[in-house]
């Protein structure tokens, strides 16, 4: 170091002790006097860029370089007449790491809105990881680094993560219809998002070598709705799903109360299936509710029910067909089953098997049990 605090540089090299530095400037502040004949050592995973008066002049690849006018052409121009080819070069050197920087993370700081085709407008959180490397050192320095002495992955990671989240929102809305379809779509979404981000990263001299979407998480209430839908698809009807939920609730109580609770839970668990089977056998009616036979299939149904739980037939009958006894909707002019006018008078139904005359609304023959046509 001279009396005027000028740093004279004869050996130029850089070791990254942290493994997190993208760019390292020598000297870190101001500029130094690089002597003619100075040794510049660039390793396999590095590139070096010489700056003079704020402009990038020469870029050096891996190897050992002696800074003389013979092998650094730009020095011939910079060190011309005014200094008689003797003065040292006042400049700075930027070392750039060309390795892959892996396991950088991205994620949504706040939930993003997503219009789901099946669940409506919901809010999603997402996070993942990405790898990046420098492919154009000069462009990176000029566009992002500037005059900083040290530029690390932490400084660039937050900015790149915001770029990824912005593109992710657009890409998800264009290529996903429902979060229910997510389990088989992560790889395809990741590949499409990587292509979409390639131009954004190239603008700063970077290449996105890998991007992974780790998870896309809907709110808890939406997760619960998805779980219920998946369970319902496994079971035949809603009754069995409700029985399962009751059993799960009993199991949870048993876990919370310990051994004593487990004994009580087991007893209650043995009682619950019978309780539910009795309740749902009557179309979900409460115990003791008045029942009446369904006019279509004869199964018991609650008197205040509008449709039969067994056959789905209408229980509130306004009018029956005079010919086939089918329930006729209010305002209908003809029977939906046989086409008989709604104003026709009831006629006795003759059994084709035994010839017995049955009542107009009979479904089966009162003598032989044959179904009436």
Express each pLDDT in 155-208 by its tens digit. Answer: 888 889 999 999 998 998 888 888 888 888 899 999 999 999 999 999 989 999
Confidence of residue 133 (pLDDT cuts 50, 70, 90): very high
> For residue 246, is it within any domain?
yes
Same domain, 78 and 134: no
- Confirm if 289 and 280 have CB atoms less than 8 A apart: no
- The answer to whether residue 346 is domain-embedded is no
Which tens digit of pLDDT belongs to each residue from 79-115? 444 444 444 566 788 899 999 999 999 999 888 888 8
Q: Which residue has the higher pLDDT, 15 or 321?
A: 15
pLDDT at 11: 81
Domain that holds residue 135: 101-219
Asked if the structure places residue 80 within a domain, the reply is yes
Q: How many CB atoms lie within 10 A of CB 292?
A: 12
Is 224 a member of any domain?
Answer: no
CATH number at residue 109: 3.30.479.30
Instruction: Kindly report which listed range (20-34, 216-230, 305-319) carries the lowest average pLDDT score.
Output: 305-319
Q: In this structure, is residue 360 part of a structural domain?
A: no
Residue 358 lies in a domain: no
Q: Is the pLDDT of residue 26 over 70?
A: yes
Are both 61 and 121 inside the same structural domain?
no
Q: Let me know if residue 145 belongs to a domain.
A: yes
Structure confidence by residue, pLDDT tens digits, 310-338? 776 666 655 677 777 777 766 677 887 77
Q: Which of 277, 279, 278, 308 is nearest to 292 (CA)?
A: 308
Residues 196 and 259 in one domain: no
Distance from the first to the final alpha carbon of the chain: 114
d(CA 11, CA 125): 50
pLDDT of residue 373: 67
- Which residues face 25 on adjacent strands? 94
Dist. CA 314–CA 162, nearest whole Å = 58
More confident residue, 2 or 311: 311
287 located within any domain: no
How many domains are contained in the chain? 3
pLDDT at 331: 66
- Alpha-carbon torsion (279, 283, 284, 287), positive or negative: negative
Predicted confidence at residue 347, as pLDDT, reads 63
Give the pLDDT score at 164. Answer: 94
């Amino acid at each position: 170091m001279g009396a005027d605090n000028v740093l004279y540089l004869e050996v130029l090299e850089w070791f990254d002790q942290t493994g997190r530095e993208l760019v390292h400037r020598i000297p870190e502040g101001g500029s130094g006097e690089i002597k003619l004949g100075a040794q510049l050592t660039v390793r396999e995973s590095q590139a070096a860029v010489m700056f003079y008066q704020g402009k990038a002049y020469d870029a050096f690849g891996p190897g050992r370089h002696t800074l003389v006018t013979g092998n650094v052409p730009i020095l011939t121009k910079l060190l011309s007449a005014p200094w008689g080819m003797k003065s040292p070069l006042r400049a700075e050197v930027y070392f750039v790491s060309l390795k892959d920087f892996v396991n950088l993370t991205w994620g949504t700081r706040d939930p993003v809105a997503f219009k789901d085709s099946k669940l409506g407008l919901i809010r999603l959180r997402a996070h993942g990881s990405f790898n990046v490397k420098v492919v154009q050192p000069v462009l990176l320095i000029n566009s992002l680094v500037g005059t900083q002495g040290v530029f690390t992955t932490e400084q660039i990671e937050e900015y790149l993560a915001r770029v990824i989240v912005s593109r992710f929102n657009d890409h998800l809305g264009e290529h996903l219809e429902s979060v229910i379809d997510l389990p088989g779509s992560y790889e395809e979404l990741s590949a499409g998002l990587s292509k979409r981000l390639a131009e954004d990263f190239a603008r700063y001299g970077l290449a996105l070598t890998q991007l992974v979407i780790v998870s896309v998480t809907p709110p808890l209430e939406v997760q619960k709705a998805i779980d219920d839908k998946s369970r319902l698809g496994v079971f035949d009807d809603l009754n069995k799903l409700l029985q399962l939920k009751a059993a799960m609730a009993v199991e949870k109580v048993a876990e919370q109360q310990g051994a004593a609770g487990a004994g009580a839970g087991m007893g209650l668990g043995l009682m619950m299936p019978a309780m539910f089977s009795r309740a749902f056998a009557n179309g979900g009616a409460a115990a003791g509710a008045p029942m009446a036979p369904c006019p279509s299939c004869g199964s018991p149904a609650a008197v205040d029910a509008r449709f039969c739980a067994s056959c789905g037939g209408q229980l509130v009958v306004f009018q029956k067909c005079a010919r086939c006894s089918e329930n006729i909707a209010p305002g209908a002019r003809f029977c939906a089953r046989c086409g008989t006018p709604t104003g026709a008078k009831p006629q006795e139904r003759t059994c084709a098997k035994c010839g017995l005359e049955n009542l107009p609304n009979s479904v089966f023959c009162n003598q032989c049990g044959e179904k009436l046509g």
